[in-house]
Amino acid sequence: MSTSRTLIIAGAGVAAALLAVGLWLSFRPVPIILEGEVEATEIDIAAKVPGRVDAVAVKLGQTVARGDLLFTLESPELRAKLAQAEGARDAAGALRRKADTGARQEEIRAAEQQWLRAKAAAELADVTLERVERLHKDGVVPRQRRDEAEAQARAARAAAASAQAMHEMAVAGAREEDKAAAAAVAAQAGGAVSEVEAYLAETRIKAPQAGEVAALLIDAGEIAPAGFPVVTLVDLNDTWVVFQIREDLLAGIGLGTELTGRVPALGNREVTFKVDYLAALGAYATWRATSASAGFDLKTFEIRARPVAPVPGLRPGMSVIVPRPRG
């Protein structure tokens, strides 16, 4: 009888202990866990000009260095424009050289001969006028004949002066204004060629920085509009974790706060992050009313934290579990 009573008392004690443990487990404060997701800088690579994708030089998951070829475009229209621009440049260059060089030696000699012929005709007209003048004074020829000889002499002298001016102009070459105009036209034509060549260079798209190919949005043979992304690169050296936290859980978290979390995808490896961005999300973000009668709502904040040190293997999409620090 004594043994049975002892067992009953012992059982009651065990039951009371289990009840106490259960109550403690039920009412103890539950630790708050923050869960974030790793993100990284993404770069959408597009061409400035439209064209048909000729070849894609990379594959998904491939690591590329700055300057590596990503894809090429085929654009017959640009090549035709380049041929037109080069033709205009050559023509403008020829006109400029003509203006700088001036008249050819054959043209200068022809102008000189024209001047000498006009000069001889003017001298003959002057001699004829002197003879007619003497005959007119002697009354041999009428005044009409004398006036005609004088007019012919004046015309011959004017023709000689004009021929001399043409010869001097041929020797001097083009005016400085004409040379400047020809040079400007040549420069404009050269600029047009450079512009088309720059567009053609945009048909060979290279990586602006190192990264990993995260997406290929267009295949070879498809038309790529100007500005439409063809390749997406992700920079795995620029990663961060994004948390979305209600404002009542922000105590103890601010810019510069260090958070230690574990990354399940890396075998629960612990990583230290530092908060470098904190801002409230828009009104459309998740919120919870604390008091329906008071109408006070809790907003959600976005927090970004970057690894304090490089973490090999950390990739976008991985989860990070962080116990909320105490305020």
Mean per-residue pLDDT pooled into runs of 10, the chain (327 residues)? 61 63 51 84 90 91 93 87 84 72 65 76 77 76 77 79 70 64 78 85 90 90 87 93 87 88 92 91 55 62 92 92 72
Q: Per DSSP, what are the bridge partners of residue 74?
A: 52
Model pLDDT for residues 234-248, shown as the tens digit of each residue: 999 999 999 988 888
Extended beta strands in 128-228, E state = 204-206, 211-216, 223-224
Query: Considering the entire predicted model, what is its pTM?
Result: 0.59
What are the C-alpha distances in Å from 52 to residues 182, 196, 228, 231, 313? 38, 17, 12, 14, 36
